[in-house]
Amino acid sequence: MKAIIVGASSGIGFEVARQLLAEGWQLGVAARREEQLLELKAEAPEQVEVMKIDVTQPDADQLLMALVERLGGMDLYFHVSGIGKQNRTLEPEIELRTVETNAVGFTRMVGAAYRYFAEKKEGHIAAISSIAGTKGLGPAPSYSATKALQATYLEALEQQARQRGLPIYITDIRPGFVDTALLNDNFPYPMLMKPEAVARDIVSSIKKRRHVRVIDGRYRILTFFWGLIPRWLWRRLKL
């Protein structure tokens, strides 16, 4: 089996890559930073192809297809690339960079993977959205908004694939707080999960072709009750 992981240089993407390598997958790994990608290749030189890709750049989808060609095909596209930061003062640079990466970059890359699989007539797209897309979060407006966009986009692709008779599977992974470099703003996040444990759940969810997977059980309960909170009450909550 052959998989492309975009955003494999650290955290969840890096751990999922290592687990897939251990299971014998051929991988194409991509990110803005190459150092840890080369570390993955050093662990399994015959199984890994490396490409430097910045999803915010207009040629990122073309580079993705070049990586697919170098790998000799693609059965799974796993999109991990993303940024997020609390922005209570709504600094424009933070908001716009988040949209450029999590909305525009995400759409560019997932759309390219979908078109490839549509032509191939089969494939699997998995992507990291977030529980943050469940409701609009005041401390991180653009982050929660772009994560909601991702979840809706994946749902739309799943419906389109079904209507077109295309066997393209979609897996929307929604983790809670994971102890990675993304959460490096010195905020005391509750219920932190280890990347290794989250990666195991993701690999299992991909194998089972789950449609939506909230990780873990605590966050499944939390998001269920979040969804029940009416708007008038939600806007009064202190987060």
Residues that are catalytic:
143
Cα distance between residue 194 and residue 127, in whole Å: 18
Q: How far, in Å, are 21, 71, 116 from residue 46 at the CA level? A: 10, 11, 24
Please state, in angstroms and as integers, the Cα–Cα distance from residue 153 to each residue in 32, 62, 131, 147, 178, following that order. 24, 21, 15, 10, 23
* Residue 15 near residue 80 (C-beta atoms within 8 A): no
Cα→Cα distances 14→29, 90, 101, Å: 9, 31, 19
Find, among 148, 150, 24, 27, the residue nearest to 77 by Cα.
27
Pairing of strands 212-215, 48-52: unpaired
What is the C-alpha separation between 64 and 117, in angstroms, rounded? 13
